[in-house]
Amino acid sequence: MPHRIAVVGTGYVGLVCGACFARLGHSVVCVDRDAGKIASIEAGEIPIFEPGLEDLVTAERAAGRLTFTTDTAAAVRASEAVFIAVGTPPEPKTGNPDLTAVMAVADAVLDAVDGFTVLVTKSTVPVGTARRLEARILERQGIDVAVTSNPEFLREGNAVHDFLEAERIVVGSRDRRAADLMESLYRPLIDRGSVLMVTTPETSELVKHASNAFLSTKIAFINEMARLCEKVGADVEMVAHGMGLDARIGPRFLKPGPGYGGSCFPKDALALANAARDAGSPLSIVETVLSSNNWHKHAMVTKIADAVGGLDGRRIGVLGIAFKSGTDDVREAPALTIISELVKGGARVTAFDPQAMENARPLLNGIGYAEQAAEVAEGADAVVILTEWPEFRDLDFAAMRARMRRPVLIDLRNLVEPDRAEAAGLALHPLGKAARI
């Protein structure tokens, strides 16, 4: 059955969820207080780089199921459920998510409601947020609002797919009417095989943070194994493959790299560790994962320095700045730390990324940017791959080698076929396996 919903916040999560709910047949109004943003979306400009999103927004607008407004009150009054999808950036001092925007939207919703309304947190919020919202509702008389936690599990670059083909839908509410409405909203996905889990808000909030912390743990674990493999002469990809054959472990999220980044993993693991400490139940594994991932980035700088015999005066070409391929996002990208450390060590860095250079420029000073991937090789003592953009695999390495001062390729994503590097005359330093020098 089609429902009327509002999604407040037209950032990454809000826009994806709004457009996808419209695709499920609901009537969706997306709200943002930024009139310029709404105007540009209405003019067909999607503010983020996300495959499939632009087509989806265009189609759903044309179908009349997706509209945009700056008027929160009107959108709330027209809706059975209001999703909060505003940002929760880390506070500079603690790293905890800043809930100012979430609480401001909640207050605006509570000011506007005129009938039973489900208030849903879609933004990733720390455990206990639903209780805080419920307390705010209790402070007011005569409003009928049910708080519900419904975390998103969207990967950047796969967000539309991850929504429309969700493995799981987690709903946390203490109100039966809210749980029923959420089930009805997601019915088309449930009928296609998505698993619905209905629980309390606290459990739902923790599922999100625990999932991200656990996935971070897998990555930090395999990155530590990669460093060990280099010391003892093993091959981390084969170790991961062997581990993954055990169905209890599984093969996914065991790919070594320069460290995990992005807007979720680093922030969520830190928020969870802080919340756990506050609750008097510290999470030593999660805390270790955080420091392991930080340490790993420094270890990668040492690996680069070792491959070129020290950093001072070296020219390093960097391929990839985004925290992963398929996105222009550089938030918490390991490249930011690694490049800064290279520069601090006296190296001259030229970097290229097919999507993320504009976002990187304000954050990475004192480096050069290349217009083409192959240009980073110019006069370089080494080229380092930090992001697994598929096009880097197919570069003309022989031509690049001809431009380099020294023929060194440090592949921290294990992207390049060793035979191709060898055929081009490059000494290849992969991650977690023997170098081919």
Q: In whole angstroms, how close is the CB of 312 to ligand UDX at the nearest point? A: 29
CB of 17 or CB of 22, closer to ligand UDX: 17
Residue 257 annotated as lining a ligand binding site: yes
The conformational region for residue 60 under phi > 0 = left, psi -120 to 50 = alpha, else beta, is alpha
Three-state DSSP state, 341:
helix
Residue 430 interacting with ligand UDX (CB under 6 A): no
Residue 323 interacting with ligand UDX (CB under 6 A): yes
Residue 83 annotated as lining a ligand binding site: no
Encoded one letter per residue, x for contact with ligand UDX by CB under 6 A and - for no contact, window 180-219 reads: --------------------------------x------x
Three-state DSSP state, 138:
helix
CB of 201 or CB of 262, closer to ligand UDX: 262
Token readout for 219 is 């990555």
Residue 21 annotated as lining a ligand binding site: no
Secondary structure element (H or E) that encloses residue 6, with its range: strand 4-8
CB of 140 or CB of 155, closer to ligand UDX: 155
Strand partners, 147: 119
Residue 261 interacting with ligand UDX (CB under 6 A): yes
Identify whether 264 is a catalytic site residue: yes
Rounded to an integer, what is the distance from CA 372 to the centroid of its chain? 26
CB of 184 or CB of 294, closer to ligand UDX: 294
For ligand UDX, the binding residues in 98-157 under the rule CB under 6 A are: 152-156
Residue 257 interacting with ligand UDX (CB under 6 A): yes
Q: Which of 49, 83, 260, 389 binds ligand UDX (CB under 6 A)?
A: 260
CB of 60 or CB of 152, closer to ligand UDX: 152
Per the CB < 8 A criterion, the answer to whether 66 and 28 are in contact is: yes
Number of residues binding to ligand UDX, judged by CB under 6 A: 18
Q: Smallest Cα–Cα separation from 380: which of 410, 338, 341?
A: 410
Q: Sort 334 into a burial class: Cβ within 10 Å, 0-12 / 13-18 / 19+.
A: buried
Region from 45-53, 169-177, 262-270, 368-376 binding ligand UDX, contact rule CB under 6 A: 262-270
Backbone angles phi, psi at 40, to 5 degrees: -75, -35
Encoded one letter per residue, x for contact with ligand UDX by CB under 6 A and - for no contact, window 146-165 reads: ------xxxxx---------
Please give the Cα distance from 419 to 401 (Å, whole number). 14
Please give the Cα distance from 374 to 359 (Å, whole number). 21
Residue 93 annotated as lining a ligand binding site: no
Helices (H), 279-417: 284-308, 334-344, 357-360, 390-393, 397-403
Catalytic residue numbers, as ranges: 264
List residues near ligand UDX by CB under 6 A.
152-156, 212, 219, 253-255, 257, 260-262, 264-265, 323-324
